[in-house]
Structure 1
Amino acid sequence: MKLEMDREELKRLLLYGSQKGIDEIIEDIHPADILDVLHEIEAVDVIKILHRIPEWLIAEVIDEEDDEEKYALLVNFSEKKQKNILKEMSSDEIADLLGSLDEIESKRILDNMPVEEAEDVKQLLTYAPDTAGGIMATEYISIKENMTVKETLKYLQKVAPNAESAYYLYVVDEDEKLKGVVSLREIVVSPFDTIIIDVLNSNVISVHHDMDQEEVAHRFEKYGFLTMPVINDEKQMLGIVTVDDIIDVLRDETTEDIHRLGGVGESEKVNGTLFESVRSRLPWLFVNLLTAMLASATVSMFEGTISKVVILATFMPIVAGMGGNAGTQTLTIVVRGLALGELNFENAKKIFFKEIGVGLTNGLSVGICISIIGGLWSGKPVFGLVIGLAMILNMTVATTAGFLVPLTLKKLKIDPALASAVFVTTATDVLGFFFFLGLATVFIQYLI
C-alpha cells in the first residue's frame, strides 16, 4: 500500500478501509494528517475514525489539536479508554488540555490518572502558562556523572520510550541540581567503559521556570537546540522545553502580535462564531472612534480656513493617509524587532536616529512630489509648498511615533502590539491635519 497519500485517500482508508489495512499503515501516518481529516468530516465519522486507531495515536492526534478543542476529542471515549489515552500523553500536553477546562472537568481527568503523574501535572499548572514552566514537560532523562556509557545505554533502553526527548541526557547530582549535559551522539560513539563525567559538557544552557516563553524561543533560535532544561532558583532541574513546543509558541506569539496590531482580539479565529468576532473587534472600533473624533476636533479648529480654500478638503486625506502608512511601516518593524530581541534599549538610540533619517528622506521625496502635484492642481505654487511641508513634517512625526510609542509601552511593561497602532494613528491624523491646515492658515492670503 502507498505510504504517501493525499487527504481524500487517507479519509477513504480511515472511514472505509479494512481494519487490517489501517493497522498495516498506521505507524506511517502523521497525526496532523489525521487531524486534518477529522476537521473535514461529520461528528459521527470523527468518532468512527477515532475508534479505529490505536490509543497512542489518539494521544498524538489530541496533542496536535488546538488546546480549546482537545477535550472534545477525548470525551468520545469511555473513562477506561480515556485513562489509557492519558497514559500516552506527556505532562505538558495534559496541562495544556486542562488549561482550557473548568475545575470540575479538570478534576475528573486528574482523578483518571496515576497519582504520581497527576501530581506532575498539578505542579505544571502552578506555573504561568506563558512561561518556561508552563510549557515544559517533566518526562526527561537524567543520569549521574559516575555512570558508565554501558550503564547509560541499558538505562536508556528502559526509560527512553516514555521520555519526551532522548536527544540530550541531563546529568544531575543527588539533589537534582543540573551539572551538565551529554548528547546521545557522545553516548553512541564512546567506549562502553567511559565514565559520563569524561564526556560531560558542564556549560549547559538552561532557562529559569519564570522566563517568558518568548524569551525561551529566542534562546532556542540563538543556540539551535532541540531541547532545553528548565531549572529553579536552586539550579534544580524541573523539566525540559522541546523545539516542537517552541514552534507552537512562535506561532501563537506571532498570531497575537498580528491580531493586536490590527485591533482584533488575540483569541479570534477565522472559523469562530459571529458573536466571538463582534466581541473581539467592537471594543477596538470604539477606541478608534474616539481617536477619529479627536482628529475631527482638530479639523474643526480650521473650519474658517477650509471654507475659504475648499481645495484643502481634497488634499487632507492624502496628508493623513501617507503619515499613517509611514507610521505603520516603522511600527511594524519596531514591534517585530522587539519581539525577536533585535531591538533593545542598548541599540535603541542608533536605530532611532536611523528611523528619523528614513522619515525625513521619505518625507522629502513624497513631499516634493505632492508639492508639484498640488501646485499644478490648484494653480497656486504656495499651495504646493504648504502641502509639501505638511507631508515632510507628518511623515517625520509618523516614523518618530512609530518608533517611540512601542518602545515606551515596552518600558512600561505593556505589550507594544496591544496599543501602539492606536497611538500612532492618532498622532499622524491629528498632527497631519494640524500641520496642513495650520500652514494653510499662515499662508491664507496667498491661497485665496
Structure 2
Amino acid sequence: MTPEESKNLLRELLLKGSSEELNHELEHIHPADILEILHEDDDANFETILKRLPESFVADLIDEEDEEEKYEILKVLSDYQQSEVLKEMSSDELTDLVGSLEDEELDDVLNKMSDEDREDVKQLLAYDPDTAGGIMATEFIAIWENKTVKKTLEYLQSIKEEMESSYYLFVTDRNFILKGVISLRELVSTPFDTLISEITNPHVISIDVNMDQEEVAHKFEKYGFVTMPVVDETNKMLGIVTVDDIVQIIQDENTEDIHQLGGVSGEERVDGTLAESIRSRLPWLMVNLLTAILAASVVGAFEGTISQVVALATIMPIVTGMGGNAGTQSLTIIVRGIALGELTGDNARRILFKELGVGLITGVVIGLLMCIIGLIFQGKMIFGLVCGVAMFLNMVAATMAGYFVPLLLKKMHVDPALASAVFVTTVTDVLGFFFFLGLATMFLPYLL
C-alpha cells in the first residue's frame, strides 16, 4: 500500500469510522499523521475530524502543532470540550499554547483551565521562555528514599496516567530536595523489600532552572538522557525537561542561526506576512548599505590610480569576493562552534592557530593562482604580483576576521550569528580594496 493510499484510508476512518473503531485505531496512530490530513483538508473536514477525536488525542495534536496554529485547533471545539482538552495537557504544553495567544484569546483559555493548571502556567510564564524554567514540565513523579521497592511500584501503578516520563524516577525528600535518581529497569529488577535509598544513584545530573535552553540541549547531547530534572539554587526539584522538548529546541535554534547568518530575523517564517518579512530584512539591508558605502569610500580614495590603470577595476571584485568567501567559511565554523559549545577557553588558542594556518596556506595557493591570472590578463609580471599579494593578504585577513568577529560579539553579548556576517563582509571588502589599490598605487610607475 502506498503512503497516499494509507492516508486516504486514515481520512476515511476519521470521517466515517464508528466511535469504537476510531478509538481502537487511535492507539496505534501518531498525531503527526492526523495533523498532516487536517492541514490538507478543507475547513468542514477539519472541524468534523476534530470533534470526533477524544480530548486526550486532541491534546496530543495541539502539542505537535506549530505555535501559531495551536489555538486554531482548540477554538473549533465547544467550551466544554476545550476545558477537557486543557485538562489533558501538561504544564509545559499549556505554557506553549498560552505563550502564542493574543490578550483576548489568552483570557478565554485561562478561564477554561483548572485552578491548579492556571497556577502552574503562571509560574512557568514567570521564567524566561528560553531557559530551562520556560520549557520544563512541572508534572513529575517524586519518590521517597525511605519507601520500599514494593510500595513504590504500587504507588506508580496508582498514578500511571499522570506520568510525564517513566524512564527515570527521581528521589527527593518531603521538601522535594533532589537526592538521586533510579532507572525504571533497576526498580523492577530489585527485590520488593529493598529500600529505595539502597538503590538510589546520588550522582544525579540536573539542570539549573535559569540555564539557557541551548545549554540545556548541549547537556542532553553530552549525556544522552531522555529526561533531566530541573532544580533551583537550593537543589529543590521544580520540574523535568524531556528529550522531545530538546529536539524542537535544536531545530528552532538551528533555523534561527541559519536565518541570522543571512541577515534575517530568526522568527521569520516562509509563510509569514509581507510586513513581518520587511521588518525582518530591511534593518540589516540598511546596515549593509552603510558598510557598502564605507567600502566604496576606500575605492574613491584611489580614483586616480584606477583611472590610469583601468584593468584594476576588473580584478578588484575578484580580490574582495574571494576574501568574502574565505571569511564566510571561517565564520561559519566559529559561529557553529560557539553555538555547540565546542569552542571554549581551553581550545581557543589552538583553534586560532589552526585558522591562521588555513588562512596562510589557502592565501598562498589562491594568491599564486591570482598572480598567474593577473600576468596573463595584463601581460606584466608586476601586475600579477600586485594581484597575488593583495589576494594573499585579504585571504589571511578574512580568515582572522571570521575567527575574531564572532568572539568579540559574543563578549559584547551580541548574538554572533546575527551580526557577524555584516562585519566580516565589511572587513574583507574594505581591506581587499585597500590592499589591492594600495599596492597598485605604490607600484603605479611599473604598471603604466
Structure 2 length-normalised TM: 0.97
Distance 2:425 2:2 in 1: 55
Distance 1:9 1:326 in 2: 53
Distance 1:165 1:194 in 2: 23
Q: Deviation digits for residues 170-193 of structure 1, max 9, x if unmatched?
A: 111121100001110111111111
User: Quick check: 1:425 aligned with 2:394?
Assistant: no
Amino acid at match of 1:138: T
C-alpha displacement of 1:37: 1.6
C-alpha displacement of 1:287: 1.2
Closer/same/farther in 2, CA of residues 313 and 13 from structure 1, 3 Å limit: farther
C-alpha displacement of 1:283: 1.5
C-alpha displacement of 1:2: 11
Distance 2:367 2:110 in 1: 65
Amino acid at match of 2:92: D
Closer/same/farther in 2, CA of residues 3 and 291 from structure 1, 3 Å limit: closer
Closer/same/farther in 2, CA of residues 12 and 432 from structure 1, 3 Å limit: farther
C-alpha displacement of 1:168: 0.9
- Of 433-442 and 155-164, more deviation after overlay is shown by 155-164
Q: Structure 2 matches for 1:344-359, cutoff 5 A? A: 344-359=344-359
Q: Structure 2 matches for 1:291-302, cutoff 5 A? A: 291-302=291-302
The equivalent of 1:139 in structure 2 is: 139
User: Quick check: 1:205 aligned with 2:236?
Assistant: no
The equivalent of 2:403 in structure 1 is: 403
C-alpha displacement of 1:71: 1.0
Amino acid at match of 1:79: D
Distance 1:299 1:111 in 2: 64
C-alpha displacement of 1:415: 1.1
The equivalent of 1:26 in structure 2 is: 26
Distance 1:3 1:368 in 2: 55
The equivalent of 2:170 in structure 1 is: 170
C-alpha displacement of 1:309: 0.7
Amino acid at match of 1:133: G
Distance 1:278 1:15 in 2: 41
- Of 256-265 and 8-17, more deviation after overlay is shown by 8-17
Amino acid at match of 1:187: L
Amino acid at match of 1:309: V
Q: Deviation digits for residues 313-340 of structure 1, max 9, x if unmatched?
A: 1111111110000000000000000010
Q: Deviation digits for residues 24-70 of structure 1, max 9, x if unmatched?
A: 32211101111122222222221111112211111111101111221
C-alpha displacement of 1:22: 2.9
Partner of 1:58, secondary structure, is helix
Contact 1:140 1:166 in 2 (8 A): no
User: Quick check: 1:416 aligned with 2:416?
Assistant: yes
Distance 1:86 1:385 in 2: 72
Distance 2:326 2:28 in 1: 50
Amino acid at match of 2:135: I
User: Quick check: 1:77 aligned with 2:73?
Assistant: no
Q: Deviation digits for residues 233-270 of structure 1, max 9, x if unmatched?
A: 11100000000000011011111111100011111111
Closer/same/farther in 2, CA of residues 235 and 315 from structure 1, 3 Å limit: same
Distance 2:319 2:163 in 1: 60
Distance 2:151 2:62 in 1: 35
Q: Structure 2 matches for 1:11-410, cutoff 5 A? A: 11-410=11-410
- Of 53-62 and 99-108, more deviation after overlay is shown by 99-108
- Of 142-151 and 36-45, more deviation after overlay is shown by 36-45
Count of residues in correspondence between the two structures = 448
- Of 275-284 and 430-439, more deviation after overlay is shown by 275-284
C-alpha displacement of 1:107: 2.8
C-alpha displacement of 1:16: 4.8
C-alpha displacement of 1:410: 1.0
Contact 1:3 1:25 in 2 (8 A): no
Q: Deviation digits for residues 129-155 of structure 1, max 9, x if unmatched?
A: 000000000111101001111111111
Distance 1:401 1:301 in 2: 23
In structure 1, list runs of 5 or more residues that go unmatched: none
Q: Deviation digits for residues 371-426 of structure 1, max 9, x if unmatched?
A: 10110111111111001001110010001000001011111221111100000000
Closer/same/farther in 2, CA of residues 11 and 320 from structure 1, 3 Å limit: farther
Q: Deviation digits for residues 272-319 of structure 1, max 9, x if unmatched?
A: 222322221122111111111111111111111111111111111111
C-alpha displacement of 1:18: 4.9
In structure 2, list runs of 5 or more residues that go unmatched: none
Contact 1:230 1:239 in 2 (8 A): yes
Contact 1:3 1:28 in 2 (8 A): no
Amino acid at match of 2:70: K
Partner of 2:27, secondary structure, is helix
- Of 283-292 and 137-146, more deviation after overlay is shown by 283-292
Amino acid at match of 2:137: A
Contact 1:144 1:171 in 2 (8 A): yes
C-alpha displacement of 1:100: 1.4
Distance 2:150 2:19 in 1: 41
- Of 14-23 and 369-378, more deviation after overlay is shown by 14-23
Please provide the CA RMSD for this pair.
1.7
Contact 1:227 1:243 in 2 (8 A): yes
Give me the identity figure in percent: 61
- Of 2-11 and 368-377, more deviation after overlay is shown by 2-11
Contact 1:148 1:192 in 2 (8 A): yes
